[in-house]
Structure 1
């Protein structure tokens, strides 16, 4: 109000219809009380009381949203009010409440808000686009500082989580089916008694030859709750993308396959499968398996490592079933034609009311197999069963011999042997690297052409890589010997558990047989599982005999 020409004339400041925008991120929630929703609201209310030209017509709150992204529900509602002309002023506590990403925040301040005639106010930063105080330099500096803060928080959070993962701490929100978080330690997984039994049954049925669909059907028939239904029924938290269909919460083949492929059940904690490529990008991406963090023995195992590995091997086999059956054929994926290498196919003939089962090479003479073989399943079963019983007997004898040897003296001999090999390889590596280093001098001195230089360099580089790999393997073996690992002969139980074998079934076959090559009707080449371990055990016995002979000669 002012006086002009002897009379009073009133001028009213224009009213601004404003939105009070409040944002609180997860990190803010744990950092400062001054950033709380109530404190932001109170600060804005006090500011408006001192500025009668502003009227707050709405309040928008984004609670739990990062300032690095602008895809926030309340923020989008506010911008809709801006475009609809319902508001012409936005008030925030400080610039970081609007956003912490430099480029996008600057775009709203310099382009979007001015285009719609919107006044922007950041109270504690003294930014008000209606006045000259909000100069570009101040806004730019604060924007850069806000983004740097966000980047710093992201790096610290990622680093902290990575350290926990590598220490074997569970950092996920939802444990896999079969486990729960320990009551006194949220970073430790412990078996869930009910679900753990179901997981064990799933692996057992798979090893017995049941297909994933068969297992799912059996669990549904028995009325066993699916992972999602179990968590819902017990009031447990669960991921939005659960194992089962949300509509009926039934077991499915997909659910079974996911469980069978999860290494967590062996006691190995596998984390870091997903992540964001950059702190500005919130969309999760699948990481390659080489980047996953694996920590063995992080928690109690539900499934033995040998059984888990067997289930993974089964995936690569030809596990065909007949149209009316849910159980895999006994020799599916294992039986191979010794002539052409094709997997043999099961065939059923019917005569005089009886069924006769055969295995034959599907390639045949017409397609290139010179000597295709067909043999009865019954004869094959008898032959394989007898071979397995004989092999199990050999393994049992081997176990008895291994028990009787002096393991400590053998370990000393093995350790010396590996150490000597490592020393020899390190000496060879040093020589190769020296030869490689002299190549350039030979090139400069004119003793080698460029082509010869490149050829020798590639040759020595390859030799060095091979030697380094040999050293790595030898050091692993040396460490294994020095640690005297008790699981070294655990593979033996994979055979001795079937010592009373009378009826050949899928479980026994998968445990003990890698493949069977059919050379003729009575000629089979059986490749057993753990053949490398078997050979090592024989070498160990030979070494023990040498050691014993040496000790006797030494005494004599």
Structure 2
């Protein structure tokens, strides 16, 4: 049977369900930032409080556990809402600008795809993997020659295997990223489309936050940092644009 809803809609509903686990104290209303705010220092949630007409947020560790375990990290609702809205508007502007640059790049007769950063990283990790593999292979002889104990052999072998597995996984991701870059970037990239459709955003809603924002960190000085979804995709798009707009002499 065909799906009744699109995968995109399903993913959005799932995100809503994951976010909407906490309701307001009286259980009647879900607040705008519920589930999004994190303390920049202890990593725990930053929760909403109200005193009269004043709404503010503070670190839950400070409020509920101990005033010596963390600091207040307080920020007023109006300031938080304005700052997050500005951050989203800026990211939307970036997405629109990226789309325009990609459209221009893709009309050029030749496009560049060679990422020296990725090439250097892959070469370095391959060299490191070769070194780890060589060390692991020499362990058995070290044990037989009595230079290390059997327990040391087992422990070191397990550690080298763990390092090799991590390097192999990282190499696979870097290689996939290089392949994606070589295929080019379309201006209808999902990351760009997700943000660009909010060009006229003037007010925050939970739906917008759920679609675009992963989490928001609140710092002790009242500053915030908004961590967007599609962060890795935006980084790769920016690199594609940089490669194709920077005039550098390439070694032949």
Give the TM-score taking structure 2 as reference length: 0.75
| Aligned with residue 534 of structure 1, among 213, 231, 234 | 234
- C-alpha distance in 1 between matches for 2:139 and 2:7: 54
Deviation at residue 396 of structure 1 after TM alignment: 2.0
Report the counterpart of residue 150 of structure 2 in structure 1: 450
- C-alpha distance in 2 between matches for 1:522 and 1:435: 49
Q: CA offsets, 1:72-118, max 9 Å, x none? A: xxxxxxxxxxxxxxxxxxxxxxxxxxxxxxxxxxxxxxxxxxxxxxx
Report the counterpart of residue 367 of structure 1 in structure 2: 66
Report the counterpart of residue 319 of structure 1 in structure 2: 22
Report the counterpart of residue 248 of structure 2 in structure 1: 549
- C-alpha distance in 1 between matches for 2:2 and 2:25: 40
- C-alpha distance in 2 between matches for 1:470 and 1:501: 38
Q: Provide the aligned length of Structure 1 versus Structure 2.
A: 247
Deviation at residue 332 of structure 1 after TM alignment: 0.5
Q: CA offsets, 1:314-355, max 9 Å, x none? A: 444353145363x521111112344544323333444xxxx5
Query: What SS does the corresponding residue of 1:516 show, helix, strand or coil?
Result: strand
| Aligned with residue 163 of structure 2, among 445, 455, 463 | 463
Q: CA offsets, 1:179-217, max 9 Å, x none? A: xxxxxxxxxx335xxxx3xxxxxxxxxxxxxxxxxxxxx
- C-alpha distance in 1 between matches for 2:138 and 2:220: 58
- C-alpha distance in 1 between matches for 2:99 and 2:73: 37
Is the helix fraction higher in 1 or 2? 2
Report the counterpart of residue 7 of structure 2 in structure 1: 303
Is the strand fraction higher in 1 or 2? 1
**RMSD across aligned C-alpha pairs, in angstroms?**
3.6
Report the counterpart of residue 101 of structure 2 in structure 1: 401
- C-alpha distance in 1 between matches for 2:61 and 2:126: 50
Q: 1:516 to 1:477 in 2, by over 3 A?
A: closer
- C-alpha distance in 2 between matches for 1:522 and 1:444: 61
Higher relative contact order (CA closer than 8 Å, sequence separation 6+): 2
| Aligned with residue 344 of structure 1, among 22, 38, 46 | 46
Larger Rg: 1
Structure 2 residue runs without a partner (length 5+): none
Query: What SS does the corresponding residue of 1:549 show, helix, strand or coil?
Result: coil
**1:507 aligns to 2:210 (yes or no):** no
Alignment of 1:190-201 (within 5 A): 190=2, 196=4
Report the counterpart of residue 56 of structure 2 in structure 1: 358
Deviation at residue 468 of structure 1 after TM alignment: 2.0
Q: 1:437 to 1:525 in 2, by over 3 A?
A: closer
**1:329 aligns to 2:31 (yes or no):** yes
Q: In the alignment, is the contact (CA less than 8 A) between 1:339 and 1:372 conserved in 2?
A: no
Query: What SS does the corresponding residue of 1:190 show, helix, strand or coil?
Result: coil
Q: In the alignment, is the contact (CA less than 8 A) between 2:74 and 2:222 conserved in 1?
A: no
Query: What SS does the corresponding residue of 1:525 show, helix, strand or coil?
Result: strand
Query: What SS does the corresponding residue of 2:49 show, helix, strand or coil?
Result: strand
Structure 1 residue runs without a partner (length 5+): 1-188, 197-264, 266-301
Q: 1:311 to 1:319 in 2, by over 3 A?
A: farther
Report the counterpart of residue 436 of structure 1 in structure 2: 136
